[in-house]
Chain A
Amino acid sequence: MLRVRENRRELSSRIEVARIVVGGVFAVLAFAYWYVQIARGEHYFELSENNRIRSIKLTAPRGYVLDRNGSVLVENEPAYSLQLYRREAKSVSASIKFAVELLGLPPETVQARLTRGRRYPDFVPIPLAENLSLEEVAAIEARAPEHPEFAIVVSQRRLYKRGGSAAHILGYLAEATPDQIRRSGNVYTLGDWIGQKGIESSYEKLLGGANGERRVIVDSHAREIAEESRAESRPGQNLFLTIDRGLQQLAEELFADRVGSAVALDPRTGEILALVSSPSYDPNWFTRRVTSEEWTSLLSDPNHPLQNRAIQNTYSPGSVFKVFLAYGALARGWVDPEAQVFCPGHAVFYGRAFRCHRKGGHGWVNLRNAIKVSCDVYFYNLGRRLGVDRIAEIARDFGFGEPTGVDLAHEKPGLVPSEEWARTKRKARWYPSETISVSIGQGPVLVTPMQVARAISAVVTGGKLPTPHLFFASQDPRTGVRLRYRGEERHSLAIDRAGLAIVKNGMWAVVNEPGGTAFGSRVPGIEAGGKTGTVQVARRDAVARAGVDPRRLEDHAWFAAFAPIEDPKIVIVVFVEHGGHGSSAAAPVARRLLAKYFGVDVEPRPGEPGFSRASARTAAAPPATSAGVTE
Chain B
Amino acid sequence: MISRVLPVPRRLDLVILSCALALAILGILFVSSTTEGGRFDGLATRQAIWVLVGLGGLVAAVLFDYRVLLKFSFFIYCVSLAPLVYLLFFGERIANVKSWIRVGGFQFQPAELAKIATALLLAYLFENEDDARMKGGTFLKVGVIVAVPFLLVFLQPDAGLAATFLPLAAMALFFGGLPGRAWIAILVAVALLAGVGWFVLADYQKQRIGTFLNPESDVLGSGYQVRQSKIAVGSGGFTGKGFRAGTQSQLRFLPVQHTDFILAVIAEEWGFLGVCLVLALFATLLLRALTLARVARDRGGVFLILAIASMLFFSVVVNASMMIGLLPTTGIPLPLVSYGGSSVATSFLGIGLILAVEYRRFANA
Contact = CB atoms under 8 A, between A and B. Distances in A.
Interface in B251-294: 251-254, 267-268, 271-272, 275-276, 279, 282-283, 286-287, 290-291, 293-294
Contacts of B287: 19, 22-23
Contact of B317 (A6, A25, A218): A25
Nearest to B320: A29
B272 to A, nearest CB: 4
Nearest to A26: B283
Interface string B287-322: 100110110011100100010000001000100110
A15 B175 contact: yes
Q: For chain A, what secondary structure do more than half of its interface residues adopt (helix, strand, loop), or is it mixed?
A: helix
Nearest to A52: B247
7 contacts: A10-B132, A18-B174, A44-B231, A47-B234, A48-B268, A90-B221, A225-B251
Interface stretch (B5-13, B235-243, B331-339): B235-243
Contacts of B228: 51, 220
Given A14-B174, A22-B290, A32-B324, A41 B251 contact: no
A219 B237 contact: no
Nearest to A41: B237
A26 B175 contact: no
B243 to A, nearest CB: 16
Interface of B: 130, 132, 174-175, 177, 218, 220-221, 224, 228, 230-238, 247-248, 251-254, 267-268, 271-272, 275-276, 279, 282-283, 286-287, 290-291, 293-294, 297-299, 302, 306, 313, 317, 320-321, 324, 326
Contacts, number: 135
A37 B232 contact: no
B290 A37 contact: no
Interface string A3-14: 000110011101
Interface of A: 2, 6-7, 10-12, 14-15, 18-19, 22-23, 25-26, 29-30, 32-34, 36-38, 40-45, 47-49, 51-52, 90-92, 217-221, 225
B188 to A, nearest CB: 22
A7 B130 contact: yes
Contacts of B252: 219-221
Contacts of B294: 12, 15
Contact of A45 (B234, B253, B272, B321): B234
A223 to B, nearest CB: 9
Contacts of B221: 90-91
A150 B258 CA distance: 28
Contact of B130 (A6, A40, A48, A52): A6
Contacts of A45: 234-235, 237
Nearest to A218: B251
Nearest to A33: B275
Nearest to B174: A14
Max count, chain A CB within 10 A of own CB: residue among B252, B290, B321: B290
Contact of A18 (B238, B268, B282, B290): B290
B273 to A, nearest CB: 9
B299 A6 contact: yes
A40 B233 CA distance: 10
Nearest to B246: A48
Chain A to chain B: the 3 pairs with minimum beta-carbon distance, closest first? A44-B234, A48-B235, A41-B237
Given A29-B321, A219-B253, 5 more contacts: A6-B298, A26-B283, A41-B238, A91-B221, A220-B254
A402 B302 CA distance: 98
A49 B291 CA distance: 45
Contacts of A52: 247-248, 251, 253
A403 B9 CA distance: 106
A37 B267 contact: yes
Contacts of A49: 235, 247
B108 to A, nearest CB: 30
Max count, chain B CB within 10 A of own CB: residue among A33, A42, A219: A33
Contacts of A22: 283, 286-287, 290, 313
A7 B232 contact: no
A33 B130 contact: no
Given A40-B234, A48-B235, A33 B324 contact: yes
B132 A37 contact: no
B272 A11 contact: no
A43 B234 contact: yes
A14 B172 CA distance: 12
A36 B230 CA distance: 8
A117 to B, nearest CB: 16
Contacts of B272: 33-34, 37-38
Contacts of A33: 233, 267, 272, 275-276, 279, 320, 324
A19 B299 CA distance: 18
A180 B14 CA distance: 69
Contacts of A47: 231, 234-235
Contacts of A19: 287, 290-291
A29 B278 CA distance: 11
Contacts of B232: 48
Nearest to B236: A37
A388 B93 CA distance: 96
Nearest to B171: A18
A29 B290 CA distance: 19
A247 B220 CA distance: 61
A376 to B, nearest CB: 78
Given A22-B283, A26-B279, A220 B235 contact: no
A14 B321 CA distance: 25
Contacts of B248: 48, 51-52
Nearest to B299: A6
Nearest to A2: B298
Contact of A14 (B175, B238, B320): B175
